[in-house]
Each structure stands twice: as structure tokens, then as C-alpha cells.
Amino acid sequence: MNFNQFLDFELFSFQNAHIKVGNLFWMAVVLLLAWLTVWFIKFVIYRQVRRRGLDRGSMVAIVQLISYLVYTIALVLLLESLGLKISVLLAGSAALLVGIGLGLQQVFYDLVSGIILLFEGTIRVDDVVEINRDLVGRVKHIGLRTSKIETREDTSIIVPNSKFISGDVVNWSHFAKSTRFKVGVGVAYGSDVQLVKSVLLSVAQGHKELEPSPAPFVRFCAFGDSALQFELYFWTSETFGVENIKSDLRFAIEAKFREHGISIPYPQIDLHIKDRAVG
């Protein structure tokens, strides 16, 4: 048996499709070519990202879309090589597809949401996002149905893409490199408010991860029940690790307040006891 006869050897058949060794060989070649094509495209694009400093999130989205397109074309070619016509398959399974579609509405919604995300670029890889005001994390991967988010606790969470489309999402990395945050503190009544303001600003100016421009500022917020309420506002590009920055600022504020004799009061509660005569 020569090589051509070996490739023409029929393994099995069903309906009008005849599966031969050559079909399997052709399938392996197509899959290999598809994988090499995707690998080469990734190599070229990521090389341009490193050399020209392009936006990595956009490039990842482009690579993802091209990968899906290449593998879809490869799948169609494989089915055609087996003698299966795509149009006939779709027509014959229309009722089945309708039933599957009704049962997998949420899955399709997530798939469509993933395509929208990849095309629009509103959410990109490495963006820091907040979902529904309770989940903050850095986007590590955007897939066609789900995305992977790394939280501040170093845990990975798989999020359906529909959450980004229909949910309340804050993208801290989308418009500006730095974001404004605040740290609140209360001081005792009778404190020198100008000294409090000066101390808070000196603490902010001494932290290396805060942006010098826009400059930090202090807001006198309210006359509280037991304290004068102040807020220190600052800008930083380290949005993902901002809770650690806030902790550093609170440590420094407490130390500076002790150094300058500024007290942070305990909450005060006035308790009135009425003496009622017995008998």
C-alpha cells in the first residue's frame, strides 16, 4: 500500500460523509495552520506593543477577535472536508437550534456582551474596575463569554460578560491615569483647624505614590456630634492598591496628630438617668 492509498483508506462513513485517513490528515494540517496563524499574529502585535508603547488592552482585544475568526474559518473548512455542508446542517437543525437558544439565553447574552466589549474597548485588559459597587479588581482576561478579574485579595473571579454591559460598572482606568480618593478624620472641638489642615497636607505631600498634580487638598466637612470632620483628598495612579495607600496615610496622620498634640476624640454619648421614687 503506497502513501496515496493509505490516505484514501476509509475508516468509517455516515450518511453522505466518508471519513478517510486523508480527512484526518487534512484536519491536523488545518488545525496546525490555524494555530500557527494565531501565534504569528500574536507575536507581531505584541512585538509592536512593546516597541511602540501601544495600548495593551486594545491589542489583546484585537488578537482575541482574530483568533475567534481564524478558528471559525478552520472549523468550517474541516466540516467541508468531511463532506458536511454547513447550509444543510443549519437548515436541518433549525428547530433544535431554536430549542437550544431558548434554554441558553443567558449564555448567548454573555457571548454577545463579550463581542461588544472586545469591539468597543470600554473594558480592557489591565483596567481597574468596580462592579455593582461591591467588587473591585483588575481585568486579567476578556473572553468571549466570561472575563477573569483579580481582586485586591489576590483571588481570581470569573465574571460573566453581561455584568459589564447591564451592571453598574466604574472603570477607574478608562479616562485618566490618576483617580481622586479621600481619607476622613475627626478632631476634637477646640483644635486649631489651620494646624489640622497643614498636618494633613504635609502627610499627603510626604507619600511617594500620590500625584503632585493635581495637588492634594483638605475639606472641612462638618461639625460632627463629637468631632470636627475633615477629609483629605488626593490623586494617585495606583488605583488597584489604593486601600494600602489609605492605610499608610492613616498611620502617618495618627503619628503627626500625636506629635502636634491634636486629639482624635472618642464618640461621646450623654446618658440621662431619671430618678424615680419607689413606693
What does the pLDDT look like over 109-121, one tens digit per residue? 787 787 788 777 7
Q: Which domain holds residue 161?
A: 121-171
When pLDDT is cut at 50, 70 and 90, the band that residue 21 belongs to is: low
State mean pLDDT over 23-34.
Answer: 80
When pLDDT is cut at 50, 70 and 90, the band that residue 81 belongs to is: low
Single out the residue of 225, 131, 227 nearest to residue 172, CA to CA.
Answer: 131
Q: Is 129 exposed, middle or buried (0-12, 13-18, 19+ CB in 10 A)?
A: buried
In terms of domains, do 195 and 254 share one? yes
Asked whether the predicted pLDDT for residue 1 surpasses 60, the reply is no
Residue 35 in domain: yes
Least confident window among 61-65, 91-95, 248-252: 91-95
Least confident window among 27-41, 209-223, 248-262: 27-41
Tell me, what's the pLDDT at 226? 86
Residue 197 in domain: yes
Examine the fold and report which residue of 149, 171, 193 is the final residue of a domain before the chain moves on: 171
Q: Kindly report the three-state secondary structure assignment for every residue of the chain.
A: CCHHHHHCCEEEEECCEEEEHHHHHHHHHHHHHHHHHHHHHHHHHHHHHHHHCCCHHHHHHHHHHHHHHHHHHHHHHHHHHCCCCHHHHHHHCHHHHHHHHHHCHHHHHHHHHHHHHHHHCCCCCCCEEEECCCEEEEEEEECCCEEEEEECCCCEEEEECHHHHHCCEEECCCCCCCEEEEEEEEECCCCCHHHHHHHHHHHHHCCCCCCCCCCCEEEEEEECCCCEEEEEEEEECCCCCHHHHHHHHHHHHHHHHHHHCCCCCCCCCCCCCCCCCCC
Asked whether the predicted pLDDT for residue 218 surpasses 90, the reply is yes
Distance from C-alpha of 189 to C-alpha of 226, rounded to nearest angstrom:
8
Asked whether the predicted pLDDT for residue 18 surpasses 70, the reply is no
Tell me, what's the pLDDT at 187? 95
State mean pLDDT over 94-109.
Answer: 63
State mean pLDDT over 213-223.
Answer: 93
Residue 233 in domain: yes
Asked whether the predicted pLDDT for residue 87 surpasses 90, the reply is no
Asked whether the predicted pLDDT for residue 213 surpasses 60, the reply is yes
Asked whether the predicted pLDDT for residue 252 surpasses 80, the reply is yes
Asked whether the predicted pLDDT for residue 229 surpasses 90, the reply is yes
As for how many domains the chain has, the answer is 3
Examine the fold and report which residue of 141, 171, 201 is the final residue of a domain before the chain moves on: 171
When pLDDT is cut at 50, 70 and 90, the band that residue 203 belongs to is: very high
Asked whether the predicted pLDDT for residue 188 surpasses 90, the reply is yes
Tell me, what's the pLDDT at 130? 87
Asked whether the predicted pLDDT for residue 278 surpasses 90, the reply is no
Average pLDDT in the chain: 79
Per the structure block, which three cell numbers stand in for 269?
Answer: 454619648
In terms of domains, do 144 and 161 share one? yes
Examine the fold and report which residue of 171, 198, 231 is the final residue of a domain before the chain moves on: 171
Strand partners, 231: 184, 219
Listed in sequence order, the residues at least 6 apart from 9 whose beta carbon sits closer than 8 Å to its beta carbon are 1, 20, 21
Asked whether the predicted pLDDT for residue 210 surpasses 80, the reply is yes
In terms of domains, do 154 and 196 share one? no
